[in-house]
Amino acid sequence: MSGDNMSKLVSIGEVLIDFIPQEYGIVLKNVKRIKKAPGGAPANVAAAVSRYGQSAKMVTKLGEDAFGDFLIDTLENAGVDTKSVLRTSEANTGLAFVSLNSDGERDFSFYRNPSADLLLQAEEIEDNLMEQGDILHFCSVDLVESPMKYAHEKLIKQTHRNKGIISFDPNVRLPLWNDHESCRKTILAFLPQSHIVKVSDEELEFITGIKDESAGLQSLFTGHVKVVVYTKGSKGAYIITRNHSTFKEAYKVTAVDTTGAGDAFIGGFLSCLLRDGVTINDLEKYAEEHSNHLLTFSNASGALTTTKKGGISALPTLEEILAML
């Protein structure tokens, strides 16, 4: 392990505004009071990593609009490097309307046709953005057919070339795809290019097409995949390698909004890798030897995030996590 702590997280994909109702258990069309919150899974992860004391950079494109200004301010306030966040007048910043059930679970309605993030082009990605020891994190929301998909491909190739670590959270959002099969196929195409795959119990069967849980999980070890992080909401989570599996129960908290909990979880996980200077060569061994700490830290990060509304705005501090461990 390098341990020099110079490595950074680079997160690519959507940064958007979540409009969150201030009333529970009401269908979206009947909601009267709405609060705007910064969101987008890759942005949530970058903010978490920065919040926990590591370097994080966001790669995306925003509209030249007030929402874009608000998101840049939010990222910068969270300590995220925004030098690779470009602006465009060709499309607006993405918006998502979220309605909350009484248990804090969500229902989404997205406004992007297209949104600015989908217009980021491969040639706009700097050539030496990824350095040895850096971690690239991405999701599937911005892998729809668009310039942004090819921007992802360029950054993934660059990360492999420069011996970085690639983390993929499919983060399935079916309303954003024209058809479910193209979503599944795209996820399966990008999966083998990743070293770490985070998947939730709600997504596993959809992604793999396999009903049996353990067979489904094993099928994820394809291509470059070394570590599978398997989350089961309020039950807990697993860290799995080809030869090893560790489970830790989740912390019991009163959830008010589960938005961003999975992002806070993987953000906590990736911040530990950066803190300890983990490289691609020792990733598997590190995940096996430190699985208990990784899970307790990530579980605490995810659980505390559900106790407040929103994604980035709900992230706990490092001190709050350490107090829980």
Residue 274 predicted with pLDDT over 60: yes
Residue 256 predicted with pLDDT over 90: no
Give per-residue pLDDT as tens, 67-120. 999 999 999 999 999 999 999 999 999 998 877 766 766 677 888 889 999 999
Asked whether the beta carbons of 133 and 279 are under 8 A apart, the reply is yes
- Chain mean pLDDT for the chain: 93
Q: What angle do CA 273, 150, 284 make, to 5 degrees?
A: 25
Residue 1 predicted with pLDDT over 70: no
Question: Which residues in the chain belong to E strands, given as ranges?
Answer: 8-12, 16-21, 34-39, 55-63, 85-88, 95-100, 106-111, 135-139, 165-169, 196-200, 227-231, 236-241, 244-249
Both tokens assigned to 322: 């350490």
pLDDT of residue 2: 42
Q: What is the pTM of this model?
A: 0.94
Asked whether the beta carbons of 50 and 301 are under 8 A apart, the reply is no
DSSP state letters, 136-154:
EEEESTT-SSSHHHHHHHH
Residue 3 predicted with pLDDT over 60: no
Other beta carbons within 10 Å of 202: 12
Helix (H, G, I), strand (E, B) or coil at 156: helix
Give per-residue pLDDT as tens, 133-171. 999 999 999 999 999 999 999 999 999 999 999 999 999
Residue 296 burial class via C-beta count within 10 angstroms: exposed 0-12, middle 13-18, buried 19 and up: middle
What domains, with CATH codes, occur in the chain?
Answer: 8-324 (3.40.1190.20)
pLDDT of residue 5: 58
pLDDT of residue 216: 98
Residue 299 — very low, low, confident or very high, per pLDDT cuts 50/70/90? Answer: very high
> Lowest mean pLDDT: which of 11-20, 56-65, 307-316?
307-316
Other beta carbons within 10 Å of 17: 22
Instruction: Return the percentage of the chain with pLDDT > 70, whole number.
Output: 96
Give per-residue pLDDT as tens, 187-214. 999 999 999 999 999 999 999 999 999 9
Residue 27 — very low, low, confident or very high, per pLDDT cuts 50/70/90? Answer: confident
Greater model confidence, 237 or 1? 237
Closest CA to 142 of 173, 166, 185: 173
Residue 301 predicted with pLDDT over 90: yes
Closest CA to 201 of 229, 221, 181, 230: 230
CA distance 187 to 191: 6
Residue 8 predicted with pLDDT over 50: yes
Asked whether the beta carbons of 37 and 312 are under 8 A apart, the reply is yes
DSSP tag of 81: B
Residue 66 — very low, low, confident or very high, per pLDDT cuts 50/70/90? Answer: very high
Closest CA to 28 of 101, 129, 113: 101
